[in-house]
Amino acid sequence: MNQKLKTFIIVAVALFLIGGFFYYLTEMDKKIEILNIKNQEPFIKIISPSKGELLDIGKEYEITWESDNIDTVSFFLVKEGESDVADIIKEDIQADAGKYLWTIPEENHDISLGGQFRIMIFKNDDFMPFAYSDWFEISKSLMTIKIPLIVDNPNESEIEEAKRSGRIVGCQDVIFYLEKEIPYTSMPLTAVYKELFSLDKFVLIDGRKYINPIYDHIKDGIAGGSLEFDKVIIENGIAHVYLLGNYVTIGTCEPPRTEGVLKFAATQFDSVNDVEIYLNDQKMIFIHGGRGF
């Protein structure tokens, strides 16, 4: 082999090796660049609630997640079959917080609670959903409340039993508690008053009639009043019941009946020792047998 050919081969091999090395470096740079781009992509994953988890209305739960390259997130609750409606859980949460305490609302005007749900996630200021959690269940748990009514024409044994148990008011009227199941609420006393103000004048149970004296004082009642329940606040064992509108007495037995159901609604709870009733922020005094307050 002559010297020129030998030199040419050596140079060619060297150039091939050098070129291959630079090609390798170029390809590695591309892969590293692609990897870096992937590592910079925004990412979020909800850890809890987990798939199939059962949550209860009115209780507090921790939403937890993992995220990367996201500044803020907003969470919305969506129901299976109702994806066009979403309820705000929380907006503009710092993504690196990794958790948020969420109390499932007892009342929701946009979504009917109970069924399969998931969390829809928006990142930063985007206008389109970025990710979703797995499906979980919110149970529409029930609780029983007791609504005080007046027994219509009680017999002697019912009257005597009511005297012994302290459930007698006014003109030998007997207090009876109507039990009703409602969706769980952390404010059962408020629920009792709302039910009391929504019931008809007469309630039939197993053929027996019970009277709701509140009915005559709400809209279209015979007393011509417009009595409304506003709120109830329990402080130091006293239930402060606030009513709105006007109240007109009807005869002798009606005032103690109305006062009785309003008070027995609250005293059934162990946390209540006494009840004060207010009408338009003025303390009410029920005049038995007269008009006014």
Residues 54-73 have pLDDT tens digits of 998 888 999 999 999 999 99
Question: Are residues 146 and 249 located together in one domain of the fold?
Answer: yes
Residue 9 domain-assigned (yes or no): no
Residue 16 domain-assigned (yes or no): no
Question: Are residues 55 and 168 located together in one domain of the fold?
Answer: no
CA torsion, ordered 287, 288, 290, 293, to nearest 10 deg: 20
Burial of residue 260 (CB within 10 Å: 0-12, 13-18, 19+) is buried
Q: Once rounded to an integer, what is the mean pLDDT over residues 138-163? A: 92
**pLDDT of amino acid 18:** 57
Q: Pairing state of beta strands 208-211 and 228-235? A: unpaired
Residue 157 domain-assigned (yes or no): yes
Q: What span, in angstroms and rounded, lies between the C-alpha atoms of 85 and 110?
A: 7
Task: Answer with the one of 108, 139, 170 that is the final residue of a domain.
Answer: 139
Question: Are residues 153 and 262 located together in one domain of the fold?
Answer: yes
Task: Answer with the one of 93, 109, 139 that is the final residue of a domain.
Answer: 139
Residues spanned by the domain of 110: 43-139
Question: Are residues 218 and 162 located together in one domain of the fold?
Answer: yes
**pLDDT of amino acid 81:** 83
**pLDDT of amino acid 186:** 80
Check whether 280 has a pLDDT greater than 70: yes
Task: Answer with the one of 139, 156, 178 that is the final residue of a domain.
Answer: 139
Residue 212 domain-assigned (yes or no): yes
Question: Are residues 169 and 276 located together in one domain of the fold?
Answer: yes
**pLDDT of amino acid 249:** 80
DSSP-derived 3-state class of residue 88? strand
What average pLDDT does the structure give for the chain? Answer: 84
Residue 10 domain-assigned (yes or no): no
Q: What span, in angstroms and rounded, lies between the C-alpha atoms of 37 and 20?
A: 25
Q: What span, in angstroms and rounded, lies between the C-alpha atoms of 227 and 278?
A: 11
Residue 199 domain-assigned (yes or no): yes
Q: Report the CATH number at residue 53.
A: 2.60.40.10
Question: Are residues 126 and 205 located together in one domain of the fold?
Answer: no
Q: In three state form, how does the secondary structure of 133-178 look?
A: CCCEEEECCEEEEEEEEEECCCCHHHHHHHHHHCCEECCCEEEEEE
Domain tally, the chain: 2
Question: Are residues 133 and 155 located together in one domain of the fold?
Answer: no
Residue 31 domain-assigned (yes or no): no
Q: Once rounded to an integer, what is the mean pLDDT over residues 23-43? A: 60
Q: Cα 168–279–181 angle (5° rounding)?
A: 55
Q: Once rounded to an integer, what is the mean pLDDT over residues 79-102? A: 88
Cβ neighbour number for residue 5 with a 10 Å cutoff: 9
Question: Are residues 152 and 277 located together in one domain of the fold?
Answer: yes
Question: Are residues 128 and 177 located together in one domain of the fold?
Answer: no
Rg, C-alpha atoms of the chain: 35
Check whether 38 has a pLDDT greater than 90: no
Give every CB contact of residue 132 below 8 A, 6+ residues apart in sequence: 46, 118, 119, 120, 121
Q: Once rounded to an integer, what is the mean pLDDT over residues 115-138? A: 89
Question: Are residues 128 and 148 located together in one domain of the fold?
Answer: no
Check whether 289 has a pLDDT greater than 60: no
**pLDDT of amino acid 35:** 45
200 vs 26, higher pLDDT: 200
pLDDT band at 49, cuts 50/70/90? very high
**pLDDT of amino acid 47:** 94
Determine the length of the chain. 293
**pLDDT of amino acid 142:** 80
Question: Are residues 62 and 177 located together in one domain of the fold?
Answer: no
> Which segment, 187-191, 248-252, 288-292, is predicted with the most confidence on average?
187-191
Question: Are residues 119 and 158 located together in one domain of the fold?
Answer: no
Residue 250 domain-assigned (yes or no): yes
